[in-house]
Structure 1
Amino acid sequence: MWRYSYFLWLFTVCGLWGTQAQNQEPSLLDQIANHQQQWFRYTAANQAEANAKIDRLKESIEGQLQAQQVKTEIQQHSLRNVMESLKAEIKPKIEKMIKDIEDLKNAIVDQKSFNSSLQRVPPSNLFENIGSRYFYIEKHDTVTWFVAFNKCRRFGGYLATINDEEELQAITKRTTEDSYWFDFNSLAEKGKFFSTRTGERPPFTKWRENYSHTTDDGCVVAFKLEMYAIDCRLKHFFICQSDQ
């Protein structure tokens, strides 16, 4: 009987001890281990999320760089096309300007050279009184503006400028149905006409109505009381004026 009571007591004590062990809080080491596991899981998750964000950012940056590179290549190609177009457009104009300058330099010959190599024709034999001044009207040979410039100098005068409407009408009455070179031109600056004799603006112009004279052509002719700016190398008659 006593033996049975002992085993019953032992069984009860062991059961209570087991229950107490189950209800006992985890030890400090267990808590630390548990927190470490949670921290590792948290850190790993954050690291994975950060890596994913970095990968997405890298892909976005690479895409933007590729798009910018394509855009830059397109812009460079367009710029090359524009430069080639401008070069093709400007080169002939520069060549023409150089040619005009050379022609003008050749036309403006030093007066001493004329005196030593050419016999001037007396103005009284060539120039006629028209209005208040004297003019020579060429009616036989058509020449370029540059040749006309030289011929007027040889005759002892200059390519003519017109002072007013009355003088233009008086001169036109003595001309044929042709075009005649006058003095002023825009060889120095496109669209701006100056007298080669005075270096100033001409005192009078009469451009044809609705006609744009701000073109690449730079020498002036008159036809039927109206003026035009045309290529200086074309051939026309000309009008000289005398200071005498």
Structure 2
Amino acid sequence: MKIVIIGLLVTIFAIHESQQTYAEYAEYIDYLDQIHQIKTKPIEDFTTLSKKFDDLEKKFEDLRKTVTAVKTAELPKFVKIGSKYYYIDHAEEVNWFVAVDKCRAMDANLAGLQSMEELKAVSDKLTERDYWLDINDLGKKGVYQTLSSGQNAGFLNWHDGEPNNGSGNERCVVLRKIRSKYAMNDEKCEIKHHFICQKNQLE
């Protein structure tokens, strides 16, 4: 009886071992098959992948050119007048504070003309009646300074009778054309005018 039981146990163990061995063998065969598929994968797959990459690279380059073109088109056009660069706005009218922000957004400042030569050179490019300048007396009434430097304005050229603080609160300076001549006039900062931005050099 004991011999029969032992025989059955040996048989069961042998079957179990053979099943485990077969499972391992099947797994090994599957692994070899995968390696074989990788080794024999058609070279056309690589060519196709390479072409897709080239196409993607071309699309990226086209997109880069498009973005650059759009940015360039949106950049304000600064022109050299004398030794400095100016952006003269002819399209919109804003108050003095907005004009300051718009120039700063261009890495520039409102123009602070420093000589009669600069005034005449810039005036030749103007087409509208009024343009905001960097000059103001917001710090102390009657003391005109440039916002960009915080120093007293080195050059002032007023129209006759100006500055007169006519409305009682004219604290910003505009370049105004009267009888075909551009000169400075004090003005309420909230009034909307065109503006001139200035850079000493381009990037």
- How much does 1:121 deviate? 7.6
Q: Is the 8 A contact 1:162 1:204 kept in 2?
A: yes
What's the RMSD between the two structures over aligned residues?
2.2
Aligned residue for 1:237? 194
From 149, 163, 176, the equivalent of 1:223 is: 176
Counterparts of 1:222 and 1:188, CA distance in 2: 20
* Alignment CA distance shift 1:160-1:123 (3 Å): farther
Aligned residue for 2:147? 196
Higher-RCO chain (CA-CA 8 Å, sequence separation at least 6): 2
- How much does 1:208 deviate? 0.8
Structure 1 residue ranges (4+ consecutive) displaced by more than 3 angstroms after TM superposition: 120-125, 212-215
Q: How many residues align?
A: 125
SS of alignment partner, residue 126 of structure 1: coil
Counterparts of 2:158 and 2:104, CA distance in 1: 26
Amino acid at match of 2:173: V
Counterparts of 2:123 and 2:111, CA distance in 1: 13
Higher normalized strand content (fraction of residues)? 2
Higher normalized helix content (fraction of residues)? 1
Q: Is the 8 A contact 1:136 1:239 kept in 2?
A: yes
- How much does 1:123 deviate? 11
Q: Normalization by structure 2: what TM-score?
A: 0.57
Q: Is the 8 A contact 2:173 2:184 kept in 1?
A: yes
* Alignment CA distance shift 1:180-1:124 (3 Å): same
Q: Is the 8 A contact 1:145 1:235 kept in 2?
A: yes
Q: Is the 8 A contact 1:123 1:242 kept in 2?
A: no
Counterparts of 1:146 and 1:121, CA distance in 2: 26
Counterparts of 1:128 and 1:222, CA distance in 2: 19
Q: Deviations over 1:38-90 (max 9, x none)?
A: xxxxxxxxxxxxxxxxxxxxxxxxxxxxxxxxxxxxxxxxxxxxxxxxxxxxx
Q: How does 1:1-244 map to 2 (within 5 A)?
A: 125-213=76-164, 216-224=169-177, 225-244=182-201
Q: Is the 8 A contact 1:123 1:155 kept in 2?
A: no
Runs (5+) with no aligned partner, structure 2:
1-70
Q: Is the 8 A contact 2:76 2:106 kept in 1?
A: no
Counterparts of 1:123 and 1:192, CA distance in 2: 37
Counterparts of 2:151 and 2:195, CA distance in 1: 21
Amino acid at match of 1:170: A
Moved more, 170-179 or 143-152: 170-179
